């Protein structure tokens, strides 16, 4: 009895261990927010509308340079519930077959010449970094005339990639502006008499020139979220299946333990009778 109890406990603990792995640690985000902390968002792979919008953004804005050569169009369509005709019409722009890998025709040597570094394959980018990192990276481009392509990035300083979503976000610049200050306990500092915010001048505030983007801030953040969500899915399409299968396996093992334990008890009875 004691032994069975211990085994049960062990099974429960392994399950707990598997769940805690989820709380992925975010990769550091360069000089974002001064502290290098990435934006704190959680992603939802069951949100099919978000994955579909993310895929459309990826095919339109990223696939020209980046590939996801471990993913196929068709697999995405099946997982996210897009029918093949819609897939061909809205997501495949180069005449590829639905069963093809999501790749482009860019040559690595050319890319090196043009950008200084070849655009890496993005199949596993959210595993190599984190989806929060990718989301923050997409918010962190700003104009920098000292860079060859005119853009820099707070999360990835001196990145060789231009800000390809600038037409959506608008022209983001680094400007001097008053910013809030925080007390040691993390609260916003206010004047004790007037309750007005106590601010200080900072010269690395990111600000979008009004009216230069096709999207407002919330909308652009949503687009960055959808893209990161899509690439998070691409990095591990099995993720949601893996979690539900895992739970079944643990139940199965628990059941097996009970049956084996009872079986063992029966055999032990026989052994005892024989002596």
Least separation in angstroms between CB 122 and ligand HEC: 6
**How far apart are the C-alpha atoms of 161 and 103, rounded to whole Å?**
18
Give the interface segment with ligand HEC, choosing from 59-67, 75-83, 200-208, 213-221 (CB under 6 A): 59-67
Site for ligand HEC in 161-220 (CB under 6 A): 161-162, 164-165
The DSSP letter of residue 158 is: T
Figure out which of the listed residues 30, 54, 131, 160 binds ligand HEC, where binding follows CB under 6 A: 160
Q: Is 120 in the site for ligand HEC (CB under 6 A)?
A: yes
Least separation in angstroms between CB 199 and ligand HEC: 33
Residue 126 makes CB contacts below 8 A (sequence gap 6+) with: 133, 134, 228, 231, 232, 234, 235
How would you class 228 by CB atoms within 10 Å of its CB: exposed for 0-12, middle for 13-18, buried for 19 or more? buried
Token digits of residue 53: 């919008």
Figure out which of the listed residues 27, 29, 38, 65 binds ligand HEC, where binding follows CB under 6 A: 65
**How far apart are the C-alpha atoms of 69 and 266, rounded to whole Å?**
55
**How far apart are the C-alpha atoms of 237 and 102, rounded to whole Å?**
14
Q: Is 125 in the site for ligand HEC (CB under 6 A)?
A: yes
Site for ligand HEC in 226-245 (CB under 6 A): 227
Residue closer to ligand HEC by CB (options 83, 94) is 94
Least separation in angstroms between CB 92 and ligand HEC: 17
Residue 151: helix, strand or coil by DSSP? strand
**How far apart are the C-alpha atoms of 205 and 29, rounded to whole Å?**
16
Beta pairing, strands 199-208 & 172-180: antiparallel
Give the interface segment with ligand HEC, choosing from 91-99, 115-123, 210-218, 242-250 (CB under 6 A): 115-123
Given CA atoms 4, 9, 10, 14 in this order, what sign does their dihedral have?
Answer: positive
Q: Any bridge partners for residue 101, and if so which?
A: 72
Q: Any bridge partners for residue 199, and if so which?
A: 180
Site for ligand HEC in 80-109 (CB under 6 A): none
Least separation in angstroms between CB 88 and ligand HEC: 21
Least separation in angstroms between CB 189 and ligand HEC: 35
The DSSP letter of residue 168 is: H
Do 134 and 231 meet the contact criterion of CB atoms below 8 Å apart?
yes
Q: Is 62 in the site for ligand HEC (CB under 6 A)?
A: yes
Give the interface segment with ligand HEC, choosing from 32-40, 58-66, 90-98, 254-262 (CB under 6 A): 58-66
Give the interface segment with ligand HEC, choosing from 20-28, 61-69, 168-176, 234-242 (CB under 6 A): 61-69
Q: Is 159 in the site for ligand HEC (CB under 6 A)?
A: yes
Residues of the shown chain interacting with ligand HEC in the complex, contacts defined by CB under 6 A = 61-62, 64-66, 115, 117, 119-120, 122, 125, 129, 134, 137, 159-162, 164-165, 227
């Amino acid at each position: 009895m004691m032994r069975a109890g211990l085994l049960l406990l062990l099974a429960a603990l392994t399950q707990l261990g598997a769940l805690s792995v989820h709380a992925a640690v975010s990769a550091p985000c360069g000089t974002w927010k001064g502290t290098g902390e990435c934006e704190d968002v959680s992603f939802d792979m069951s949100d099919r509308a978000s994955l579909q919008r993310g895929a459309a953004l990826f095919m339109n804005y990223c696939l020209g340079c980046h590939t996801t050569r471990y993913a196929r169009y068709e697999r995405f369509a099946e997982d996210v519930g897009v029918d093949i005709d819609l897939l061909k019409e809205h997501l495949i722009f180069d005449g590829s077959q639905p069963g093809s890998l999501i790749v482009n025709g860019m040559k690595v040597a050319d890319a090196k010449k043009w950008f200084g570094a070849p655009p890496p394959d993005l199949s596993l980018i959210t595993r190599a970094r984190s989806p929060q990192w990718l989301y923050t990276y997409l918010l962190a481009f700003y104009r920098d005339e000292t860079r060859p392509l005119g853009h820099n990035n707070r999360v990835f300083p001196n990145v060789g990639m231009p800000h390809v979503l600038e037409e959506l976000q608008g022209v983001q610049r680094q400007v001097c502006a008053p910013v809030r200050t925080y007390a040691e306990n993390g609260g916003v500092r206010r004047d004790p008499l007037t309750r007005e915010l106590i601010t200080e001048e900072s010269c690395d505030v990111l600000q979008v020139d009004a009216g230069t983007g096709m999207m407002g801030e919330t909308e652009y953040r949503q687009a960055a979220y959808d893209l990161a969500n899509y690439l998070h899915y691409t990095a591990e399409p099995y993720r949601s299946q893996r979690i539900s299968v895992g739970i079944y396996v643990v139940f199965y093992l628990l059941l097996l333990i009970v049956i084996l334990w009872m079986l063992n008890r029966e055999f032990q009875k026989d052994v005892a009778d024989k002596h």
